[in-house]
Amino acid sequence: MNTFETLTFECETGNYHTFCPISCVAWLYQKIEDSFFLVIGTKTCGYFLQNALGVMIFAEPRYAMAELEEGDISAQLNDHEELKRLCLQIKKDRNPSVIVWIGTCTTEIIKMDLEGIAPKVETEIGIPIVVARANGLDYAFTQGEDTVLAAITHRCPEYKSWIDEKDETKKEGFSVFSEQKRNDTSKSPNHPPLVLFGSVPSTVASQPNSELKRQSIKVSGWLPAQRYTELPSLGEEVYVCGVNPFLSRTATTLMRRRKCKLIGAPFPIGPDGTRAWIEKICSVFGVKPQGLEDRENLIWNNLKDYLDLLHGKSVFFMGDNLLEVSLARFLIRCGMIVYEIGIPYMDKRYQAAELSLLRDTCKKMHIPMPRIVEKPDNYNQIQRMRELQPDLAITGMAHANPLEARGINTKWSVEFTFAQIHGFTNAKDVLELVTRPLRRNNSLEHLGWTNLLQPTII
């Protein structure tokens, strides 16, 4: 069988070495501007949030920690009354449009009925409450966002076809469909509504919007929206497409619960992925793409200095944030050799188009498919890295310093989670992160500090 056509998945059943998913609060509270996030857990969760998100303390963040005391855990206190008291305080201080309760490992262990309590408190305080169990039992920390978005999906309004909408508007008044009216421009698109899902900054979201607009495709909304009051309408006639590889739970909820049609596309990371993402959406709507090849080539030409540095260099993904396949595919296209793609968990259905593009990219670059290892055993990975001696390892924070001590350049995978990596213009930011450790060592070599680069026997 041809190597280029073979996708081999291995599973080592190792431990998950990743951040806690409650860290999703860091970027979600900034994206949903009228929200408030309440993390319900122990002091350990509070210490984690203080360390992970402490740099934002002066920005008056819209999140808080509800610490469980011994009385809560031993059921001596009334969960409903305690949470109601906290939410009333949040309403008084911040008055958000929505409060998101983030469950933790402890709420799972003591079987706290957050879903049962939330509707009662919501009725009593008059603010929507969304429950998301973003606890450490997930595979990767990025799945915290997946859990929150899947929960918010249920709160999106029901989409009405234009004919039904006009009839209902006559009966119930303009305010009933103010959301659709507000999103509707003077000229309705000649294709079904398209909703994109994935939390990206507004500046990043505007780029796919404009790229699709060039192809005469209008984006009806984003999940999550910038404001909770502007959530997109969902229903059987709505098409949805994801921008992040770790949103399989949200995709499943959109299809099964809200009956949306999922567009299975590669993810818009790198010029190649962005072009493939747009082309797939165009094909679904029967639109012939215009100028995409020239647009992609222009970006590649602008990245020439980075490509010269990366060509022939090798990289090893240890596995952390579920972005590994997309990043590996992009770096292979940049001329790098990928020894292994470690990934905590792989939803082969949701990432099917991305895996297909990875295979095509390897074929185009005339290199064999890299190993894809689910739930990798880090001890085994380190043994393989000792033999392969890659130029760069993209890894979780726990292993970065030990690998550097052994003479292997590293890059924290969490940096790709927080960086702006989507779309044509942000491809430079991805390569800036990848090449930084390589350029640093080149600078040290020019200065004659080669002894710092030698492996240390530990």
Neighbouring C-beta atoms of residue 231, cutoff 10 Å = 21
Looking at residue 108, what is its pLDDT? 87
Looking at residue 54, what is its pLDDT? 60
**Same domain membership, residue 193 and residue 75:** no
Instruction: Please give the C-alpha separations between residue 450 and each of 24, 386, 405, 440, in angstroms, as whole numbers.
Output: 40, 20, 14, 12
Looking at residue 450, what is its pLDDT? 47
Inside any domain, residue 197:
yes
Q: Is residue 349's pLDDT more than 50?
A: yes
**Same domain membership, residue 388 and residue 300:** yes
Domain end (from 110, 138, 166): 138
**Structural domain range at position 166:** 158-183
Considering only 69-83, 135-149, 162-176, 413-427, which range has the smallest mean pLDDT? 162-176
What average pLDDT score do residues 424-431 get? Answer: 96
What average pLDDT score do residues 358-367 get? Answer: 95
Mark residue 103 as left, alpha or beta (left: phi above 0; alpha: psi -120 to 50; beta: remaining): beta
The token duo for 28 is: 């979600």
Residue 164: band (very low, low, confident or very high) from pLDDT cuts 50, 70, 90: low
Domain end (from 284, 302, 321): 284
The token duo for 323 is: 């972005």
**Same domain membership, residue 121 and residue 27:** yes
pLDDT in tens, 296-347: 999 999 999 999 999 999 999 999 999 999 999 999 999 999 999 999 999 9
* Number of independent structural domains in the chain: 4
Inside any domain, residue 16:
no
Looking at residue 114, what is its pLDDT? 93
**Same domain membership, residue 118 and residue 97:** yes
pLDDT in tens, 224-269: 999 999 999 999 999 999 999 999 999 999 999 999 999 999 999 9
Inside any domain, residue 298:
yes
Looking at residue 4, what is its pLDDT? 40
Query: 24 labelled as ligand-binding?
Result: no
Considering only 62-71, 109-118, 204-213, 278-287, which range has the smallest mean pLDDT? 62-71
Query: 20 labelled as ligand-binding?
Result: yes
Looking at residue 71, what is its pLDDT? 65
What is the torsion angle, in degrees rounded to the nearest 10, for the CA atoms of residue 94, residue 122, residue 20 and residue 45?
70
**Same domain membership, residue 333 and residue 440:** yes
Looking at residue 451, what is its pLDDT? 46
Inside any domain, residue 5:
no
Residue 273: band (very low, low, confident or very high) from pLDDT cuts 50, 70, 90: very high
Looking at residue 6, what is its pLDDT? 65
Inside any domain, residue 122:
yes
Q: What angle do CA 312, 318, 323 make, to 5 degrees?
A: 85
Inside any domain, residue 204:
yes
**Same domain membership, residue 123 and residue 68:** yes
**Same domain membership, residue 106 and residue 50:** yes
pLDDT above 70 coverage of the chain, percent? 86
Domain end (from 257, 284, 311): 284
**Same domain membership, residue 84 and residue 29:** yes
Looking at residue 74, what is its pLDDT? 61
Residue 173: band (very low, low, confident or very high) from pLDDT cuts 50, 70, 90: very low
Residue 443: band (very low, low, confident or very high) from pLDDT cuts 50, 70, 90: low
pLDDT in tens, 71-81: 666 666 778 99
Query: 11 labelled as ligand-binding?
Result: no
Inside any domain, residue 147:
no
Which is it for the CA torsion 288, 291, 297, 299, positive or negative?
negative
**Same domain membership, residue 225 and residue 178:** no
Could you tell me which residue, 218 or 51, shows the higher pLDDT?
A: 218
CATH number for the domain spanning 378: value is: 3.40.50.1980
The token duo for 335 is: 């001329």
**Same domain membership, residue 209 and residue 328:** no
What average pLDDT score do residues 406-421 get? Answer: 92
**Same domain membership, residue 411 and residue 334:** yes
What is the average pLDDT value for the chain, to the nearest integer?
Answer: 87
The token duo for 10 is: 């291995």
**Same domain membership, residue 67 and residue 171:** no
CA distance 175 to 157: 13
Inside any domain, residue 117:
yes
